[in-house]
Structure 1
Amino acid sequence: MAIRMPRIIQVKKTLRRSFSNGSNTTTSMDIPKGYFAVYVGEQEKKRFVVPVSLLSQPMFQELLHLAEEEFGYNHPMGGLTIPCSEDIFINLASHLGAL
């Protein structure tokens, strides 16, 4: 399976991202209607704002199940934290047509 680089660049531009380190944080007011925030990453967590339509996708539900297994309902970032790499999340979101 080949990955086309222009698509990944487009995906990264489409996903709204903000760092959760305090210097560039956003509030819940910055999330448009029909979207929600998730924190993704293995070491440094990055915040992504994605459409709620992802919630009904079986592949995304698998990620939610992994998050439940790892964190339960106590997410350390104060929001939904997904335990996967940023690249995997971007590829999944792109595959699901969320971007």
Structure 2
Amino acid sequence: MSLVEEAHEQGKAEAAGRTMAGFAATVGGVPLVLAHVIGLVLLSRIGWRVWRGAGLAYAALAVAAASIVGIGVGQLLFGGNLFYTAPVFVP
């Protein structure tokens, strides 16, 4: 959704001598990656204590499953436009 925001606000930003480049990555991508890394680290530590090597696989599977569910929910909430990229306008 932040990609749409970035695309819509770019014209105003350019008029003000600024840019919206990187907004989507900062607002959407960075926190998402951090959440996945933190979840994987925490689940890996717990999995290692309980099941050793298999626990690491369980941790990776749990993070992957949660990510897939999150993508599905995001697609439903945003009407299939979760990965929307604005078309390039060429005058």
TM-score range, shorter chain: under 0.3
Structure number with bigger Rg: 2
With normalisation by structure 2, the TM-score equals 0.26
Give 1 or 2: higher strand fraction. Answer: 1
